[in-house]
Structure 1
Amino acid sequence: MQKIGIIGGGIRGHMYAKSLQHFPGADVRAVSDLSQATAEKTADAFGLAAYTDHRHMLQEADLDAVIVATPDFAHRDPAVDAAERGLHLLIEKPLATTAEDAAAIEAAVRKAGVECMVGFENRWNPAVRRIREVAAAGELGQVLTQNILLSNTWYVPTEMLSWAARSSPAWFLMSHTVDVATWVNGRTVTSVDARGSRGQLAARGVDTWDVVHALLTFDDGTTANLTSTWVLPDSMPSIVDFRLQAVGDRSAVHVDLHEQSVRHAAPTASASPACSGTRSTEGCRGRPRGWCSTSSPA
């Protein structure tokens, strides 16, 4: 039985606590959040001990591992502190928002010899896994290019995230798509060319990028095109728009999470639902499936 503490009791921390209720061998014992009300809300919901200082939780709770679910910019201190106490780590993406913070976390993990994983939950997304499976089986052949769009409506940066100005569509969303692109083709990124625009969110009091585009070049010379925005209309059917296309020299796969569909264009074309059943926060077929559904943002 793994004894687990959660640092960051907001949307993601609450989600982890809920998901782990269904995971054999997981014993979530405590949650910490700078907001006492937030810590107590999550603690009360799942019968946990509540703390407002993660260092007190690490000292007092008997833990084997910690989930760091704090905002994007606030991963370093809790991750380093937990590693120094010999606790294994699951850290929300992105790992960090500065190279210095990422290096400090890596150094602490290596020195302590603990396990550390970044929470790229799209590796458990049935649609993304389908693309990975097709690529890994060689059905795509050489992956020549990928086009991946992952965006949110205005709601996410203006209402859902109080700290959006300290993040961006690149940190919050494109961290996912960079991981997906490299996971699908199995290549290493050698260069990145990125452009973006800003001004609309700033006019609403959130001074960060509206749109970010990135062109990744891999070690075999192939490319991936990524786009993430935080300015989709709130009238969209979901707060998340997620579309992926991988084109190989043998076939191509297209995923549209709005339509919950996967299309594989090979010598014989096929189409299938990405997830048969509900699109609620309970995941596919009414039960958690290890990734966030389209009604829950990244």
Structure 2
Amino acid sequence: MNTLNVGVIGLGEIGQAHCDALSHIERANLVAVADVDETVLEDTAKKYGATPYSDYEAMMEHDDLQAVVIATPDAIHKDPCLSAAAAGKHILVEKPIAMTVEESEEIIQAAEAANVKLMVGFTVRYFSQYIHAKDAVARGDLGDVISVFARRTNLITQPDRVNGRTGVMFFLGVHDFDAMRWIVGSEPVSVYCESANAVDSKYPIENETFSIIRFTNGAIGCAHIGWYLPANHPAGFDFKLDVTGSQGILSLDMMKQGIELHTTSGSRYPFMAAPLIAEDKDFVDAVLDDGPSPVSGHDGLVAVRMVLGALESIESNQPVKL
């Protein structure tokens, strides 16, 4: 059986999740990890039997390394991606592909020039509930899509967790912008966004937003993206999707996932999904079987354009063409 030797760059929360996911994939070998935090690096390397690198450039020289997962902070995706492409390594980069159109295009061009696979990590596409929604629309179960509403809200503590280095649109909104485009099956043509400012923000970032998106097929989307849930929220998130068609509706609620736990210490809605394993497996299979990238660099670029358009709209108080 062919297997793929993979390295992970960036060992924060999502990088650790990728390491765990890869360890569950039969055709994947986690052979190398890279991070600037020496303690985290050594602990992770020991846990997975991988070679540690404090410099990702050095990791590119690792014997038989074939692919990398890039899970560095959003603003520093470009350089590891370019380094990996130059070294001939296939790339799975966490969302967003980058935080500017220029850097996104540079990454895409580098991967194309090096003839390596480039996949963007839009994990929402790998939740069974969202896959069901996509399939229902594609089959025509709902008739013609009229509108789609998405909600993705998170804990009020999230800006502190990321030290205010990114706003809610790139952190969360990019997921649903991509998911709406994917499910509706049509390209976005304009976006109008409002951001609530009733409460002073610790960081100069957007925190609570509503976006209206027009698609080429005439459908309209609305996305409520924010992080003002109380810290003791039983799920820690509230993710929803409603699709309205000419012949039916579909409603998706990720918060409870079919199980509730109520004890003397409080209530919880345990998280039951494992989409990252499916995402990483799709990447591994695409490389080993020489299939198309499951989520292309272009997909990532369109989502970046949508987020940047929404942020521009907040500032201008006008719709922005995409």
TM-score normalised according to structure 2 size:
0.78
* Correspondence 1:26 to 2:14: no
Counterpart-to-counterpart distance in 1, 2:240 and 2:175:
12
Q: Residue 116 of structure 2 aligns with which residue? A: 114
Deviation at 1:212?
2.0
* Correspondence 1:161 to 2:165: no
Q: Residue 255 of structure 2 aligns with which residue? A: 258
* Correspondence 1:78 to 2:80: yes
Q: Is the 8 A contact 1:150 1:174 kept in 2?
A: yes
CA offset digits 1:211-265 (Å, max 9, x no partner): 122111111222100111122211211222101100000110001111326xxxx
| Unpaired segments ≥5 residues, structure 1 | 262-272, 293-298
* Correspondence 1:283 to 2:285: no
Alignment of 1:125-274 (within 5 A): 125-158=127-160, 160-162=161-163, 165-198=164-197, 200=199, 202-203=201-202, 206-260=203-257
Q: Is the 8 A contact 1:109 1:116 kept in 2?
A: yes
Alignment of 1:4-83 (within 5 A): 4-83=6-85
Deviation at 1:289?
5.5
Count of aligned pairs between the two proteins: 270
TM-score normalised according to structure 1 size:
0.85
Decide whether aligned partners of structure 1 residues 54 and 288 sit closer, same or farther in structure 2, where only a CA change above 3 A counts. closer
| Unpaired segments ≥5 residues, structure 2 | 260-267, 281-322
Counterpart-to-counterpart distance in 2, 1:155 and 1:190:
33
Q: Is the 8 A contact 2:234 2:269 kept in 1?
A: no
Q: Residue 267 of structure 1 aligns with which residue? A: none
Deviation at 1:288?
7.5
Q: Is the 8 A contact 1:216 1:225 kept in 2?
A: yes
Match of 2:96 among 94, 97, 109: 94
Q: Is the 8 A contact 1:156 1:239 kept in 2?
A: no
Higher relative CO (CA 8 A, sep ≥ 6), structure 1 or 2? 2
Q: Is the 8 A contact 1:7 1:31 kept in 2?
A: yes
CA offset digits 1:47-89 (Å, max 9, x no partner): 1111111101112343111100111111000011101111111
Residue 133 of structure 1 aligns to a residue whose secondary structure is: helix
Which amino acid in 2 is paired with 1:84? Answer: A
